Structure 1
Amino acid sequence: MYAALRPGALAALILLTGGLAAPARLDAADKRPMKIEDLYKFKRVAAPQIAPDGKRVAYQVGTVDLDANKSSTALWVAATDGKTPPKQLTDPKGKRDAAPRWSPDGTKILFESTRSGSSQLWVVAADGGEPKQLTDISTGASNGQWSPDGTHVAFASSVFAEFSEKPFAESDKLNKAKDDEIEKSPVKAKVFTKLFYRHWDEYVGDKRQHLFVVEAKFGDKAGEFPEPRDVTPGDRDANPTSSTFSSGDDFTFTPDSKHLVFTAVPERDEAWSTNYELCRVSVTNTSPKWETLTTANKAADSGPKFSPDGKKLAWRAQKKAGYEADKWDIVVADCKPDGTLAGEPKPLLEKYDRSANEFTWVDNPRIKQPTIFYTADTEGATLQYVTRIDQPGDMRQHISAYQSVSGLTASRDGTVRTWLVASMTSPPEIRATGEVEPFVIKAEEPKQVAPGGLHMYSIATRQVEVSKANDALLAELDLPRPESVKVKIEDGEMQMWVLKPPGFDPKKKWPVVYLVHGGPQGAWEDGWSYRWNPSLWAAQGYVVVLPNPRGSTGFGQKFVDEITGDWGGKCYRDLVAGLDYVEKLPFVDKDRIGSAGASFGGYMMNWFAVNDIAPRFKCLITHCSVWNFESMWGTTDELWFDEWEHGGLPWEKPGKYAEFSPHKKAGNLAKHKTPMLVVHNDLDFRCPIGQGHELFSALQRQGVPSRMVNFPDEGHWVLKPKNGAYWHKEVFGWLTKYAPPGGK
């Protein structure tokens, strides 16, 4: 095993290294179980960005008004030493201020806001004051980025490609006129000439995500705005249309501030190709022709970031064309100030059998070498790692813990870093730490060998709790820590989380909810969710079990790959083994077990329902699932996914599309008659609504107890506050009916 620690080991490490004590909590007897309404009371901390000098961090805090069915997001600033209370920087008055970005000189903060009616870029002084609007583009502005010299800002906007080569004033007027015409027309017909024409939950039609550059001038007169330039005109997206290939920051200025390097959607066959490229254009560009930097790689490249000294460019890259769940490596190449590559890309994680998520550069002053911090899914958590680019054979796990880390940022000199940390018992909050440790390997350090023979070393450092936005609410709630267990499966072990309900008495028999995650290349991690929150499910009076079967990330690429073309095979048998384990637990009532899942997890509910495992569940809950692989291919948005999973097109591989498709065994629904709740939404273009209709028809036609809940205004997820609360009541009501909660 590599350097993952047991959950209990973190406390000892922090005590030894001077970590802060946990805030005071009520005694367990004074706490209460979590309620559905509590899920919407939590402050939603996100998007931390550290100031260039490292003394402060800006971030966004979202609040939900459940009664009013709306949310609002404001900007906050906090000291990274934790010595002064956080301060609210903006008041959006019910709107959304988000995605803060410090100016290079640290005096201003750029952010997105809907305060003027549409999403535009605004700027506020870092010490507070009245924000000033920077952009006024009819198609909206997002993802603002400063140039290194502070003179310009780049942003993304979805525009009609047909107008994009015209001067801005003319093109913006034409974009607005066409949008208005579509909105006002009594005819709502849509005409498509190519894929993609829709994505996730919206029709994109002929619009393309382009990058614009605008001078960072803020006039004192109302209505005066600098004129932006579309630097990526043409019929191609210059920003990822699929979140799978987004690294958070998908474009950046070059060190000379005169060019942009960005993640571009494939030039051709974008609905069935994963060949995302890094491209480069001048900030004065007006031509659809872009320079491609990654022509040698036919798989995905994403998320360019220049080193602090401007001499190297790093990005994430995959190797297998067409495979969205291939391992992400971090590659580094020497470069010139204008962003052109001056050397061959070199992979940093070639010998490390985990996939990199996000990363950030740190200019490490103590070792005088650029260093990269990154996160990776690791055995039911997302942990933080650090590696030197001149020593890719050695890397360290930094701030070891079960939990989930994201949002890495570092000060300009690398001496202070911030990140978000979450767990099943705490939503994301910001932490900070000081100096980066040098890579000095001491003889007495316990050496651990990771997959591939890499030497791994754990590091624990002093952490400062910065945001503390949810301490008061957390102090009220009884949120038991999850336990990690290992289950024997064919060819090895499966990790699984077990979460016991508040007031758990081991002498009683408890019902179980067996939750299957989506993806399928995903994982249940020691993290927080505002949609599928295990603590909330446990609070209803259930033991919650979260297995990570074949296909789960964080257990090596082979484990991930083994789901491909085998959805109903090894993964299913892993889940059966997990259920066997659960039923033998002394506190489990095996006559009160239900199961639920969404997306791939929903598919597995459907596969459970038509196989012999079905009678072992008192009920099933399937959300936005896959029922029929054959109809799924022609109606989903991202064709590469189905074509990779089944080895080709439906008419080329009909047997592979049929082999594990639940609809082929629909007759078994009547045999088992396991009650089933079906949730499916009209705006879900990933697992389209027809999948839910087909399943519900099959259930009703065969007299299986079933209920369908449809949200016409939701996509793959249920995001509106009132809808989310209703969803939880339906789901928990179904469980209560067939597998009543509480210990007996």
Structure 2
Amino acid sequence: MNFVKPLIMASMMSVTATGAHAAAKFTPELLNSLGRVSDAQVSPDGKKVLYGVSTPNIENNNSNRELWVMDINGKNAVQITNSEKSETNAVWFEGGKKIAFAYPNEKGVNQMWVMNADGTDRRCVSNMEKGIEGFVLSPDEKKVIIVSTVKYGETTQDRYPDLKKTDGRIIDDLMYRHWNEWTAEIPHPFVGEFNGSEVTALKDVLEGTQFESPMRPWGGVEQLAWLPDSKSLIYVCRKKTGKEYAISTNSDLYQYDIATGDTKNLTEGMMGYDNNPAVSKSGKIAWLSMEHDGYEADKNRIFMLDGDKKVDLTADWDYSVDFITWSPDEKYIYFICPYQGTMPIFRMNVANRKVEQVAGGQYDYDGLQFAGKDLLITCRHSFLEPNEVYSFKVGKEPVKLSSVTDPIMNTLGDVKCEKMMIPTTDGKMMTTWVLLPPNFDPNKKYPSLLFCEGGPQSPVSQFWSYRWNLRIMAENGYVVFAPNRRGLPGFGTEWNAQISGDYSGQCMKDYLSAADFMKEKPYIDGDHMGAVGASFGGYSVYWLAGNHQKRFACFLSHAGIFDLRAQYCETEELWFVNWDLGGAPWDKNNEVAMRSYREADPKNYVQNWDTPILVVTGENDFRISYSQTMQAFNAARMRGIPARMVLFPSECHWVTKPQNSILWQREYFRWLDQWLKK
């Protein structure tokens, strides 16, 4: 059996963030003024770190990402770009003398650029008509993979060229829209020559096909990799279209020979998601793999090619992996995964499969690169603090390198985050994070919020969000409790899988157990508890609204599912509802599906609604249509229940524009304060 050997032990079960002076109020405006640190890249000599900082501009209602470079010890941080638009996908090349990045050209079309390491001598090196979404340099830096888009299917003007001004769409198959955009173009990988100052001879690796790679909406350049000889590459693709695409998660890794154009399926016969190839310097190939077709939240395993044999390195590891990278000596694969309510860094000895934790505490880690043989660079955040760059050596505490958010965060008051273990109705213990307001007094009574996670199988780890920010909720005077209810990763595959086909079962009992447990705390005002959540969390709020039996004083649902039958017929990822609900609403002989539509459909309980509710949606949300939110709002008002709807015409499943984000936060607290602070 594998084992986890913590090399760094967290000595406290709670963490406190404390301001040194009189505390500033953590407002939505302040939250949306924070610089957002991401994508730390170590220079080839291991002496520098390149990273990006995105800063929102509330007045202009946009954000801009600039590039920074600092020494490997965090000193001498310098902003090397100062541009009107955002630089992205930045990487070192020519031994650290230069940096390549993506940036719009004079026509506003994103292209590949290069510059000196100090930001001087910027020049555009690509000329893709439709722009680029990202790129990956080859190991010898003489070739490049560029992600650009190609036309998908036939347009109305193709069929009727005389109707140049019609905006009608003619649709014959599924997956005609996905998440937040209509499927008019899809990404393809192009491979070309690169001499340091120009990209030439680009060839579409998937020319003549209607398959997408990387896979939208989440896939990026991490789904592409080079072999060490720079003569072949690996791309991830789900070679399906229309209905077949809409019901399947069966992607594969394909190896493409640049000289011959020959393609080999490296994961033939593996039926779930195969994703994110990681290639060692000697050419060993590892990747993330799910077992079951149609189950997007399956256990993500680490597989490795051993000759033609596919080896599951995590057969004895009961947790789902999110990120992998090889150690320089290739003895270890380092990985990040949800684990007991956090996202620590682990490493696996490839020879004996033993796993040990190398960075932990009450934090989430994001990305990982080596600086030499034993120093690692990562980003870290928690409920209490935003992303910053850190370094660490195995067996030693991480060292903070960047301090982008310190000028604001150091002015805030103390917020305490505690881990509580709450008993469930089936005799298990549920990890729950509890955030306490600044200057918390256990002798006072506080209003509280049950945070319902989305996904439905996304972890309640130590995330930092610019919408669902638990710290700002606590700073506004609420005790916030976030249970790792059934269906969340980080507690073994059985705990994670229990929710499938059982939306209204144990996971809802877990939420009610958490609410009842917290009501027993002497500092909780039991008459002023709310429930909030987005996506599946929004669905949870709707279901609880009809089944809470007076536990809650108000509700807030963002992009939640109100009508399961309608959701099946109007969503785009049909694999999702097939797996989660058990099947279609017309499959009358399918007892799992029929139970879902009978017992788990929130609209079936709307006659029990008796509590004020705020609902939020975006008109460009194709995952959970805004019509779901409108149904819930209309039902509440028709039943005479106090309700409010906040609708964003330009937003999707998320709220991304700075002013919309501030409006979201203002209405969030205006509603909660109205009903929970009376």
Q: If the TM-score is normalised by the length of the shorter chain, which range does it land in? A: over 0.9
Is 1:349 equivalent to 2:349 in the alignment? no
* Residues 587-736 of structure 1 mapped to structure 2, 5 A cutoff: 587-611=523-547, 613-652=548-587, 653=590, 655-659=594-598, 660-669=600-609, 673-736=610-673
Q: CA deviation at 1:481?
A: 2.8
- In the alignment, is residue 264 of structure 1 matched against residue 201 of structure 2? no
1:230 aligns with 2:170: no
Q: 1:371 to 1:7 in 2, by over 3 A?
A: closer
Shift of 1:370: 3.0
Q: Give the conservation status (yes or no) of the 8 Å contact 1:110–1:123.
A: yes
Bigger mean CA offset, 694-703 vs 626-635: 694-703
Could you state the TM-score of these two structures normalised by the residue count of structure 2? 0.93
Aligned residue number for residue 280 of structure 2: 307
Q: Which runs of 5+ in 2 are unaligned?
A: none
Aligned sequence identity (%): 30
SS at match of 2:120: coil
1:616 match: secondary structure = coil
Contact 1:328 1:356 (C-alpha < 8 Å) held by counterparts: yes
Aligned partner letter, 2:291? K
Which of 316, 333, 342 is residue 381 of structure 1 equivalent to?
342
Give, in whole Å, the separation in 2 of the partners of 1:396 and 1:218. 41
Paired AA for residue 502 in structure 1? P
Of 316, 319, 323, 2:288 maps to 316
Which residue does 1:81 correspond to in 2? 73
- Structure 2 distance, partners of 1:248, 1:317, is 17
| Structure 1 segments of 4+ aligned residues over 4 angstroms from their partners | 1-7, 9-12
User: CA–CA distance in 1 between the matches of 2:230 and 2:580?
Assistant: 42
Shift of 1:657: 4.0
- C-alpha distance 141-285 of structure 1, shift in aligned 2 (>3 A): farther
One-letter amino acid of the counterpart of residue 615, structure 2: V
Task: Supply the AA of the counterpart residue of 1:92.
Answer: S
AA at the equivalent of 1:707:
R
- The answer to whether the 8 A contact 1:92-1:115 is kept is no
Q: Does the aligned pair in 2 maintain the 1:426–1:528 contact within 8 Å? A: yes
* Paired residues of 1:76 and 1:90 also in contact (CA < 8 A): yes
Cα pair distance change 1:562/1:42, threshold 3 Å: same
1:53 to 35, 42, 45: 45
Please give the per-residue CA displacement for 1:559-587, whole angstroms capped at 9, x wherever unaligned: 00011111111001111110011100010
Do the aligned partners of 1:314 and 1:332 also contact (CA within 8 Å) in 2? yes
Does the CA-based 8 Å contact 1:563-1:570 persist in structure 2?
A: yes
Residue 192 of structure 1, CA deviation: 2.4
In the alignment, the residues of structure 1 paired with residue 462 and residue 9 of structure 2 have an alpha-carbon distance, to the nearest angstrom, of 12
For the aligned residue pairs, the C-alpha RMSD in angstroms reads 2.5
After superposition, the Cα gap between the structure-2 partners of 1:157 and 1:35, relative to the gap in structure 1 and judged at 3 Å, is same
- 1:181-221 alpha-carbon deviations (Å, 9 max, x no partner): 99x9532112223322111111113x2210012322355xx
Q: Residues 360 and 556 (structure 1 numbering): CA distance in 2 closer, same or farther, change over 3 Å? A: same
Preserved CA contact (<8 Å) 1:497 1:546: yes
Structure 1: distance between partners of 2:671 and 2:346: 42
Aligned partner of 2:98 among 63, 83, 108: 108
- The answer for the alignment partner of 1:129 in structure 2 is 120
Structure 1 residue runs of 5 or longer lacking an equivalent are: 13-21, 164-174, 335-341, 438-459
What is the rounded CA distance, in whole Å, between the counterparts of 1:162 and 1:291 in structure 2? 26
1: distance between equivalents of 2:164 and 2:596? 41
Contact 1:34 1:479 in 2 (8 A): no
Deviation digits for residues 685-726 of structure 1, max 9, x if unmatched? 111111112111211221111111110100001110000000
How many correspondences in the alignment? 662
Decide which moves more: 349-358 or 645-654: 645-654
SS at match of 2:670: helix
> Is residue 292 of structure 1 aligned with residue 227 of structure 2?
no
Aligned to 1:362: 327
> What amino acid is aligned across from residue 542 of structure 1 in structure 2?
Y
Does structure 2 retain, via aligned residues, the 8 Å contact 1:237–1:265? yes
For residues 36 and 583 of structure 2, the distance between their equivalents in structure 1, rounded to whole angstroms, comes to 41
Question: Counterparts of 1:212 and 1:323 in 2: how far apart (Å)?
Answer: 30
Residues in 2 aligned to 1:3 and 1:488: alpha-carbon distance in whole angstroms: 27
Q: CA shift at 1:327, angstroms?
A: 0.4
Distance 2:130 2:288 in 1: 29
**Structure 1 residues 104, 463: CA separation in 2 closer, same or farther (over 3 Å shift)?**
farther
Compared CA separation, residues 248 and 674, structure 1 to 2 (3 A)? farther
| Residues 438, 474 of structure 2: 8 Å contact kept | yes
Aligned partner of 2:225 in structure 1 is: 252
How far residue 25 of structure 1 moved from its aligned partner, in angstroms, is 7.0
Does the C-alpha gap of structure 1 residues 522 and 25 become closer, same or farther in structure 2, counting only changes over 3 Å?
A: closer
Q: Is the 8 A contact 1:54 1:417 kept in 2?
A: no
**Quick one: which of 142, 155, 158 aligns to 2:146?**
155
Establish whether residue 37 from structure 1 lines up as the match of residue 29 from structure 2.
yes
- 1:630 touches 1:657 (CA, 8 Å); kept in 2? no
1:543 matched residue in structure 2: 479
Displacement after TM superposition at 1:529 (Å): 1.0
The one-letter amino acid paired with 1:228 is L
Structure 2 counterpart of 1:408: 368
Using the alignment, how far apart are the partners of 1:285 and 1:31 within structure 2?
Answer: 64
Shift of 1:33: 3.2
Query: What is the deviation of 1:415?
Result: 3.4
What amino acid does structure 1 have at the position aligned with 2:140? D
Conserved? CA contact 1:384–1:398, under 8 Å = yes
Select which of 217, 227, 233 maps to 2:195: 217
Pair 1:470-2:405 in alignment: yes
